[in-house]
Amino acid sequence: MMAHWLRRNWPLLAAHVGGWYPLASLLLDAARQRLTANPIQYITLHTGKPALVLLVLCLACTPADHFFAVRPALRVRKLLGLYAFGYATLHFFIFAVIDYGLDVSQIMNIVAKKPYALVGFSALLALLPLALTSTRGWQRRLGSKWKQLHRLVYVAGLLAVVHYIWLVKSDVRQPLLWAAAVGALLLLRLRAASPLAAATRTWVRRQLTRVQ
C-alpha cells in the first residue's frame, strides 16, 4: 500500500520535502542559535536563495519533460513555483517587517533609489498573479490566457537573478551561474529549440525501452 503510493507519488513527496527543507533547516539553525552574529541578514539570505533555487527548479520542469522525457517533472512544476513564491514572500516580509520595521518612508526610499530592491520586489510582484491563478479553477476560467500569463515566471526568474547579481559585493561568479541557468532554461523554451527537444526525447525514450 505504502510502497504503491510511493511509487506513484514520489515526485510530489520529493517536491514537498525540497520545499520545506530550507525553512526546516533555518528553524533548526534558530533553535541551535546558529543564525550568526547578524541573524536578520542570515534569515534574509536564507529565504532569498531557496526562492531562487526553487524557481529555477520550477523553470527546469518543462524542459526536463520536453528534452529528457521526465514526465513526473510536470507534476511538481506548480508545487515548486508555489514554494518559490512562499520563500520570496517570506524574504520580502523579513526585509520589510523585521529588517525595516515597516518604516514605509525608508522602505520606499530604498525601493525607489536602489535598483536591487526594486528588481527583487518586481520579481515578487510577477509571481503574485501566478500564485493566485495556480488553481485548476483559474486555469479553466482563463483558458488560453492562463498560459500566456504564466510565462511571467520567466520574467520573475530573470528579475530574481538580476536582484542577486546586484546584491553581491564584487564576486558575481555564483549569481552569474544562476543567471546562466535561467537564461539557458529560457532558451530551451524557444520555438527554435523544439526540434532538438523532439530529437533528444525520442532518443531518451528509445534508450529507456532498450534498458527495459
Partner 1 sequence: MQKIRSSEITSAAEYVAYQRTLSRRGLLGALAGVAGGVLAAACAPASGAVDAQPAATMAADPTMAPVPTSAGTVAAPAIAATPASVAANADELGDSFTERASVTGYNNYYEFSTDKEGVAPAAAGFAVDPWTVQVGGLVNKPATFDIGQLRRQFGEEERVYRLRCVEAWSMVIPWQGFQLSKLLEAVEPQGAAKYVRFETLLDPARMPGQQQAWYSWPYVEGLRLDEAMHSLTLLATGLYGSALLPQNGAPLRLVTPWKYGFKSIKAIVKIDLVAEQPTSLWMAAAPNEYGFYANVNPQVDHPRWSQASERRIGEFSRRPTLPFNGYADAVAGLYAGMDLQANF
**Which residues contribute to the site for partner 1 (CB under 8 A)?**
36-38, 40-41, 99-101, 106, 109-110, 113-116, 166-167, 169-171, 173
What do you get for the CA distance between the two ends of the chain, in Å? 24
To the nearest whole angstrom, how small is the minimum distance from the Cβ of residue 90 to partner 1? 18
Nearer to partner 1, 45 or 128 (CB): 45
Q: What whole-number distance in Å separates Cα of residue 207 and Cα of residue 209?
A: 6
To the nearest whole angstrom, how small is the minimum distance from the Cβ of residue 167 to partner 1? 7
Q: Grid coordinates in use for 123?
A: 520579481
Q: Indicate if the alpha-carbon torsion angle 80, 59, 57, 166 is positive or negative.
A: negative
- Number of residues written out for the chain: 212
To the nearest whole angstrom, how small is the minimum distance from the Cβ of residue 118 to partner 1? 11
To the nearest whole angstrom, how small is the minimum distance from the Cβ of residue 32 to partner 1? 13
Cα–Cα distances (Å) from 131 to 3, 141, 163, 177, in that order, read 32, 15, 20, 26
Nearer to partner 1, 80 or 119 (CB): 119
Nearer to partner 1, 32 or 210 (CB): 32
Among residues 186, 133, 112, the alpha carbon closest in space to that of 155 is found at 186
